[in-house]
Structures are given as C-alpha cells and as structure tokens.
C-alpha cells in the first residue's frame, strides 16, 4: 500500500475494522482517524459491555464511511462476514477486558476476551488475508499494554521492546498471552502483524473505574478519593490523543513483525497525580461539595500483586518512525479535568448500581 509518509506518493484509502471501538482508547482512535482520514472506511465492532459506550462515537455516527456493528470478537461467523463484505485491509484491535481490579475479582472473562477473542480474530484475518485483494495491503495492529513486562524497581531502566515478559495480574497475563499469539501468527503464517505496548492512557471518554476519571468524578460528587497503599506507585502517563498519533504512524510506517512501545515520558507517583488533580479541581470547578479536594484523599488497602513502577522507553518509535508525545502531563491533566467538568451528562449515567457494587468490593473494607 502506498502510504502518506512518502510525500511524492498518493495515499491509498484504507478499510479498517476497529475492535473495541466504543471503548476509551478505541473510540478516541476512531474519532481521530475519521477526522484525519475522512475518506477511509471505518467499521467498529464492539460488544458494548459495561465499558463500551456507543455515545462515544456520536460525532461520527451517520457518516457515509462509518459503520457500527454490535458484536463479540469471539463470534467467528460474524468476523468472517465483516471482513469479507467490507473488504477489510486493516485491523486495529483494541477490544479487551482491561482493568486489573476486575481481573482479580473475575479472571475468566479476561482469558475469554483477551486470549480466545484475539485468537479468533487472528484466525479470521488469516483466512481473509489469503484472498488476493487483501493480502498485499493487510495489517493487523494489536494494541497492548506495558503491564505485560511486570514491575520495575526505583532505579531500573524503562521497559524496552526486548524486556522479558513478567505479568503479575490476571489482566496482564491475558494480554501477554494475546501478544504471544499475535507474534506467533507473524512468524508461523507470515501474517502482517504489529504489536504496540502503551503506558497508562488518560483523557476523554474513560470509564470511571480508572484512576484519573475516578478521582475527577468522586471530587465532583464529594466522595472519598481512594489511593492504594502508600500512594508511591509510579506510572508513565500518556495522553490518549498522543497514543492515537502513535498508532497512526505505526499503521502507515510500522514494520510487520515488530513491536513498538508507546510512552508519555511522564513518570508520576500516584499520590502526586491525585494531588495535582485536586489542585486542578479546586481551580476549575465552581461547585465542589468539599474544598479543598485534598481533604477527600483516603488511603485504602493495597491492591493484590500491585506493580510498583512502570516506565516506557519509546526510543524505537522516535528513531524509526519519528514519533514523540506532544502533550505534557500538566497540559493533558488540565484538558482531562475540563472534559469531565463539561460532560457530566456523559459520566453520570455510568454510576449505576452495578458500578456501585463493584466500587464497594474494591474500595470499601
């Protein structure tokens, strides 16, 4: 396929299947792609489980080149039908169970979606890729996580693409399994696969079980801000639009069979991140039930098997594909807080009884 990095070339339009495209990262990617490449065909497949929200895609619903399909990546018949009738040449695979706490409470769903689902999708794409129209232009992008690498000590170097896998939770183990399958399908069958392993994402449309939206929403409703253990766990934070930009260059310029780490170059202790969010809330929100927000910070029992530190080395992506993050954590957190302040009608319906039950299981002793 002739791609956009060649200034003398004419870009050929792609036909994408985006799995999990109604979730947090997936929906941001769909919105980004539809705005950046409006002539491409984008088909979203999402099972609309608790973290999938079709309202995330409201800005592109109704566009001629966009289609939404509710369905499961474990449904081989559906996958075969979509790949064939849409003549898909690019799969962007986001669909996954993705929250560590939920994987501790119920690991079975993580194995089913992340391992069996990825296997089913690979098999369907392998069969489709055999056809003459798709074989020359195919790419299978598997979006994964830095958690497959395990935990770092305070002075350990950041994860690279050659760091041995050492997952410590059912979630990260299931993602590691799916990564291995994707890699194997390249080496065994020659399937044009690429793996990306990203650090912690944040931004609009993130379900409130994750740290940043949880803190924003709890502050807005005057609820305690639960921080695991001593709050000294370190994460590298990546603004979701920067992640979308990275996936763009990987799809267009990445080399099949390769892995690319995507990080934000923003290592922050959890307690420092929460303090920053509190300061932003105090500054930007006009009707907080409790002010200052920091009075709501509550330390709770640490998560089982809680990894101490993650850090991503993105030098390969920078040197090979000329990508680097453009949003600082200070700027990104401000944009994110403003989004949750301005979109109360998006997050309020998510605070269902099922969510409250889950919340009590995790944070209330």
- Distance in angstroms (rounded) separating the CA atoms of residues 141 and 123: 14
| Burial class of residue 284, CB neighbours in 10 A (0-12, 13-18, 19+) | middle
Per-residue DSSP letters for 306-319?
---B--B--HHHHH
Helix (H, G, I), strand (E, B) or coil at 76: helix
Active-site residue flag, 258: no
Question: Phi and psi (nearest 5°) for 226?
Answer: -80, 125
Instruction: Answer yes or no: 171 catalytic.
Output: yes
Q: Is 75 a catalytic residue?
A: no
Q: Which of 122, 262, 143, 257 is nearest to 193 (CA)?
A: 257
DSSP 159: B
Q: Which among 252, 219, 289 is positioned nearest to 227, based on CA atoms?
A: 219
H helices of 308-349, in order, are: 315-321, 329-342, 344-347
CB distance 302 to 318 below 8 Å = no
Sheet strand arrangement including 234-239: 200-202, 234-239, 267-269
Catalytic residue among 46, 89, 97, 147: 147
Q: For residues 145 and 310, give the distance between their C-alpha atoms in angstroms, rounded to a whole number.
A: 11
CA nearest neighbour of 189 among 128, 250, 262, 269: 128
Catalytic residue among 37, 149, 171, 205: 171
Q: Which of 146, 161, 179, 267 is an active site residue?
A: 146
Residues annotated as part of the active site: 146-147, 171
């Amino acid at each position: 396929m002739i791609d956009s990095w060649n200034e003398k070339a004419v870009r050929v339009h792609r036909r994408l299947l985006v799995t999990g495209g109604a979730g947090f990262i997936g929906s941001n990617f769909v919105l980004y792609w539809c705005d950046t490449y409006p002539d491409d065909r984008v088909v979203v497949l999402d099972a609309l489980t608790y973290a999938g929200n079709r309202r995330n895609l409201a800005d592109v619903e109704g566009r001629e080149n966009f289609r939404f399909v509710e369905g499961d990546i474990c449904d081989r018949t559906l996958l075969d039908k979509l790949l064939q009738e849409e003549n898909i040449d690019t799969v962007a695979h986001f669909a996954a169970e993705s929250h560590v706490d939920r994987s501790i409470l119920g690991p079975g769903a993580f194995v089913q979606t992340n391992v069996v689902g990825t296997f089913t999708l690979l098999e369907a794409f392998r069969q489709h890729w055999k056809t003459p129209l798709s074989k020359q232009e195919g790419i299978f992008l598997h979006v994964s996580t830095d958690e497959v690498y395990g935990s770092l000590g305070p002075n350990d170097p950041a994860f690279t693409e050659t760091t041995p896998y050492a997952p410590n939770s059912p979630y990260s183990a299931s993602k590691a399994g799916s990564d291995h399958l994707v890699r194997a399908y390249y080496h065994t069958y020659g399937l044009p696969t690429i793996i990306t392993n990203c650090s912690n994402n944040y931004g609009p449309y993130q379900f409130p079980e994750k740290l940043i939206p949880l803190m924003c929403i709890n502050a807005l409703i005057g609820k305690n801000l639960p921080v695991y253990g001593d709050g000294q766990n370190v994460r590298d934070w990546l603004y979701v639009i920067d992640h979308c930009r990275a996936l763009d260059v990987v799809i267009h310029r990445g080399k099949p069979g390769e892995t690319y780490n995507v990080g934000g170059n923003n290592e922050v202790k959890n307690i420092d991140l929460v303090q920053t969010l509190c300061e932003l809330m105090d500054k930007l929100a006009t009707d907080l039930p409790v002010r200052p927000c920091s009075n709501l910070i509550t330390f709770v029992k640490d998560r089982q098997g809680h990894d101490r530190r993650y850090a991503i080395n993105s030098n390969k992506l920078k040197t090979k594909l000329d990508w680097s993050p453009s949003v600082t954590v200070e700027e990104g957190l401000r944009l994110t807080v403003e989004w949750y302040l301005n979109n109360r009608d998006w997050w309020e319906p998510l605070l269902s009884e099922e969510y409250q039950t889950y919340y009590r299981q995790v944070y209330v002793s």
